Amino acid sequence: MLQPVSEAEAAELQAEEVAKAEAMAVGCRSVLGTDLAVSTVGIAGPGGATAETPVRTVVAALAWAGGTVVQPVSWAGAPGEVSSRAGEWGLMKTA
């Protein structure tokens, strides 16, 4: 289930995480020659969290010929589920 993070949580995410997610999606699309690319950065869990970036805090990005969209989100679930939701998020953005 996609759960957009609150404004306070989004503000806590470092700007470089947003830039990384966008650069990864754009770079992947370019290198692989695809129409679309989705990337995520953040903490799926169970470890790696900090006070600034709790577990399940992710920045997802979608790149296509028309541009990019980047969104900080928080997904519920186990680490594998959190990671796989990125593809679902990207597909929902293209619909």
* Higher pLDDT among residues 13 and 40, named by residue: 40
Q: What is the per-residue pLDDT across 17-56, written as a single tens digit (0 to 9) for each?
A: 888 999 999 999 999 999 999 888 876 666 666 666 666 6
C-alpha to C-alpha distances, 44 to 10, 33, 37, 68, nearest whole angstrom: 16, 27, 19, 22
pLDDT of residue 1: 44
Q: What is the per-residue pLDDT across 60-81, written as a single tens digit (0 to 9) for each?
A: 899 999 999 998 887 777 777 8
